[in-house]
Amino acid sequence: MEIHKLHVASILLVALALTAIGSSSCTRFSEGSLKLQANPILSGGLGWAVVKDAYVRLKEGPSDSTRDLDHLRRGSVYRLDAREIGSIASGLRDAVMKADERVIWYGIQSESAKGWVRESELDIYGSQAQAERAAVAYR
């Protein structure tokens, strides 16, 4: 009988502890208390881009000093494959570039080539549907 009471008491103690843990873990964080950058693994990719300028050069690498592979037209929509920090300054190596000479480049697959475009020449969206709706304004 004594063992049975001890067993019931331990079960009740464990249940009480689990209830306390469960209720404390359900509290909400205030909005804006935790801001994380988009993670491609969690968000489903880097997103989609709409070309902003009339003709944008698709570069061989994330630098203005690499050769042109293709031209992209304003209002075209592309899935973003990669993101890197690259150069806008011709002839400078990445290791010696100043902070204002570094820009974000996105990897894009066009109809004829895979290359890189500066972030400043694109509008970035989370989904293809958002990008397609926004592209209408550029056409």
Q: Which domain holds residue 57?
A: 42-138
pLDDT at 12: 63
Using CA atoms, how far apart are residues 95 and 5, in angstroms rounded to an integer? 72
Radius of gyration of the chain (CA): 26
Answer yes or no: is 13 within a domain: no
The pLDDT tens digits for 52-95 are 999 999 999 999 999 999 999 999 999 999 999 988 755 444 44
CATH number at residue 70: 2.30.30.40
Average pLDDT over the chain, rounded to an integer? 79
The pLDDT tens digits for 90-131 are 544 444 555 556 799 999 999 999 999 999 999 999 999 999
Tally of domains within the chain: 1
Token pair of 33 as six digits: 């208390």
Mean pLDDT of 23-45: 52
